[in-house]
Amino acid sequence: MPLSDALFVYLIIDWLARLAVLLAIVIRKPSTVAQAWMPLLLVFPILGNLLLLWGYRPFASARRRRRLTAARRQLKAARRRILMSRHCSPPELPAHLGRTAKLIENINMFPAVGGNSIELLVDYQEVIDRLVADIATARHHIHLTTYIFSDDAVGGQIINALQAAARRGVACRVLIDALGSYWWSRRVIRELRACGIEVRRALPVSITNMEALRPDLRNHRKLVVIDGKLGYIGSQNIVGAEQPDGRQNRELMVRVLGPVMLQIQSLFANDWFLESGELLSDPDLFPAEHSQGTVHAQLVAGGSEYRHFVMSFLLDAIVHAAQHSLVITTPYFVPDEALVLALESAAMRGVNVSLILPSKSDHRLVDLAQRSFFVRLLESGVAIHLYGGGFLHAKHVRVDDELSLVGSINIDLRSLKLNGEAGLLIYDRSFSSRLGAQERQYMAESQSLSLKDWRLRPSLQRLGENIARLFSPVL
């Protein structure tokens, strides 16, 4: 190519990048998101322009948009049903946390309900064994949503349990994410359907049927409903605990009994309708509520069927509400500027803020990007613990020994603003105490960072962290 032509192409690309920055500032909301795109657009104009055009908004076919509209109506109907429940009463909370619960109800539809029993499960194999045992007790139906459903030994245990349930007449429905389970889905689906189990892929990526053109928008939820009365929710997928590098996954799940299961059932029914078009309206799927304990709980879910960034609202509200202590455990920590400022503010007003993160995740770029935030947080007084006893994949938050959040939610753009996620807000001091004991065990197996030592890290590492942070809008 002649030099003059090459210069002309370069100038076109340069001005396209400038135009994209202008469009990002003028069009994208909120402004902090636009600002986050600017370095990427300026440093990598071609890649940045392509990513901006691709990621400007979630793409869905006309059929899926109609289903999303219908799904919102279904969620509103479920909310009306739950509001009439005799168990639908506000938890006994300090005023500042009570306002948080009301905020989440207003943007997420589901209110707090009492009468629940919630058991904390942290042993990986115990979760699988308990789930298999509970599936064996099912009499009417089993509903399961997971991001990863592997065909390994652990997946085989769940497949066998579901097949046994189907043979005795239990209706089984399984929803697996099309991308998260991509490598195993054909075999898993074949084995499940062979005995009459209904299986759907969530958010299939296909240009031919125009259902989805964004493979980064996923259903990341992990939940189980058995007979509408018992269930599981948390961070654990259906896959073996061992990572490719030999480390063992550390997860955290809760086993739930009580009226809040109707909310989890409503969420599954909503997801099932979005993927299959089938409305799960059988009254037997929503059995009469019976008190199973004394715990107040509230389902919180985010995704394209909600009009707000529910998880982002939730995290910001929790951080601002904290008065004494705040502990966040997450495998991926790439926050937006608003959340960083909220954490800094909480620490500087005297809240004991702690982050528990894996010393090494399974994404090198995310590792580098999240470490670029450490100096700011350490300077403001946030304690950072890097867990070294395996790959810490658990996702939970604890506030003031009063409120806990357990679920599938990571602290990154994907979870807070894009993916389908689910968590359980638990308003109970006893549960908070048990969760706190688990967090202290994590910390005992962690390296606690000091600002002085962190500042001594190699310059090359700092450079890598700052470069990785440029990609934070798309991580």
pTM for the full predicted model: 0.89
pLDDT at 152: 96
Q: How far apart are CA 267 and CA 159, in angstroms?
A: 23
Q: How far apart are CA 393 and CA 380, in angstroms?
A: 26
Of 212 and 173, the structure prediction assigns the larger pLDDT to 173
Residue 225: CB partners within 8 Å, gap ≥ 6?
141, 142, 143, 144, 231, 261, 264, 265, 268
State the architecture of 310-474 in CATH terms.
Answer: 2-Layer Sandwich (3.30)
Q: Which of the listed ranges 61-75, 114-128, 288-302, 452-466 does the model predict with the highest average pLDDT?
A: 114-128
pLDDT at 37: 63
Peptide bond just before 335 cis, omega within 30 deg: no
> How many Cβ atoms sit within 10 Å of the Cβ of residue 375?
16
Mean pLDDT (whole number) for 414-437: 94
Q: How far apart are CA 306 and CA 79, in angstroms?
A: 14
Q: What is the pLDDT of residues 252-262, one digit of tens each?
A: 999 999 999 99
pLDDT at residue 22 tops 90 = no
Of 146 and 418, the structure prediction assigns the larger pLDDT to 146
Of 10 and 179, the structure prediction assigns the larger pLDDT to 179
pLDDT at 396: 98
Q: How far apart are CA 23 and CA 41, in angstroms?
A: 11
| Catalytic residue flag (residue 227) | yes
| Catalytic residue flag (residue 316) | no
Q: How far apart are CA 385 and CA 338, in angstroms?
A: 22
Q: What is the pLDDT of residues 138-155, one digit of tens each?
A: 999 999 999 999 999 999
pLDDT at 430: 96
Q: What is the pLDDT of residues 355-366, one digit of tens each?
A: 999 998 888 888
pLDDT at 183: 92
Q: What is the mean pLDDT of the chain?
A: 87
pLDDT at 108: 79
Mean pLDDT (whole number) for 336-365: 93
pLDDT at 271: 93
Look at 114-123, 200-209, 281-290 and tell me which has the smallest mean pLDDT. 200-209
Tell me the HSE value of 61 on the side-chain side, using a 13 A CA sphere. 15
Mean pLDDT (whole number) for 42-56: 65
Mean pLDDT (whole number) for 91-95: 77
pLDDT at residue 175 tops 80 = yes
pLDDT at 303: 80
What residues form DSSP beta bridges with 353? 326
pLDDT at 473: 64
Domains 62-91+115-296 and 310-474 alike in fold: yes
Amino acid at 474: V
Mean pLDDT (whole number) for 21-37: 57
| Active-site residue (options: 87, 141, 143, 222) | 222
pLDDT band at 2 (very low <50, low <70, confident <90, very high): low
pLDDT band at 172 (very low <50, low <70, confident <90, very high): very high
pLDDT at residue 475 tops 70 = no
| Active-site residue (options: 229, 385, 395, 396) | 395
pLDDT at 39: 66
pLDDT at 69: 78
- 8-state DSSP, 288: P
pLDDT at 95: 79
| Catalytic residue flag (residue 362) | no
How far are the Cα atoms of 4, 9, 158, 181 from residue 150, in angstroms, in the given order? Answer: 54, 47, 10, 7
| Active-site residue (options: 220, 229, 296, 385) | 220
pLDDT at residue 57 tops 60 = no
pLDDT band at 341 (very low <50, low <70, confident <90, very high): very high
**Domain boundaries in the chain?**
3-55, 62-91+115-296, 310-474
| Catalytic residue flag (residue 220) | yes
- Does residue 333 contact residue 373 with C-beta atoms inside 8 Å? yes
User: Long-range contacts made by residues 105-108, C-beta under 8 angstroms, separation at least 24?
Assistant: 105/298, 107/306, 107/308, 107/310, 107/313, 108/299, 108/300, 108/301, 108/302, 108/306, 108/310, 108/314
Q: How far apart are CA 24 and CA 293, in angstroms?
A: 50
pLDDT at residue 170 tops 80 = yes
| Catalytic residue flag (residue 102) | no
| Catalytic residue flag (residue 336) | no
**The pair of three-digit structure tokens given for residue 294, joined into one six-digit string:** 């004394």
pLDDT at residue 157 tops 90 = yes
Q: How far apart are CA 407 and CA 256, in angstroms?
A: 12
- Does residue 251 contact residue 128 with C-beta atoms inside 8 Å? no
| Active-site residue (options: 143, 229, 385, 393) | 393
Q: What is the CA radius of gyration of the chain?
A: 23
Number of H helices, E strands in the chain: 17, 17
pLDDT band at 52 (very low <50, low <70, confident <90, very high): low
Chain centroid to CA 34: how far? Answer: 23
pLDDT at 58: 53
| Active-site residue (options: 177, 316, 400, 412) | 400
Residue 401: CB partners within 8 Å, gap ≥ 6?
324, 325, 429, 432, 433, 436
Mean pLDDT (whole number) for 440-456: 95
| Active-site residue (options: 177, 227, 367, 412) | 227
pLDDT at 299: 94
User: Which residue in 6, 37, 43 sits closest to 23, CA to CA?
Assistant: 37
Q: How far apart are CA 107 and CA 271, in angstroms?
A: 18
Q: What is the largest CA-CA distance in the chain?
A: 78
pLDDT band at 382 (very low <50, low <70, confident <90, very high): very high
pLDDT at 248: 95
Of 63 and 202, the structure prediction assigns the larger pLDDT to 202
pLDDT at residue 208 tops 60 = no
State the architecture of 62-91+115-296 in CATH terms.
Answer: 2-Layer Sandwich (3.30)
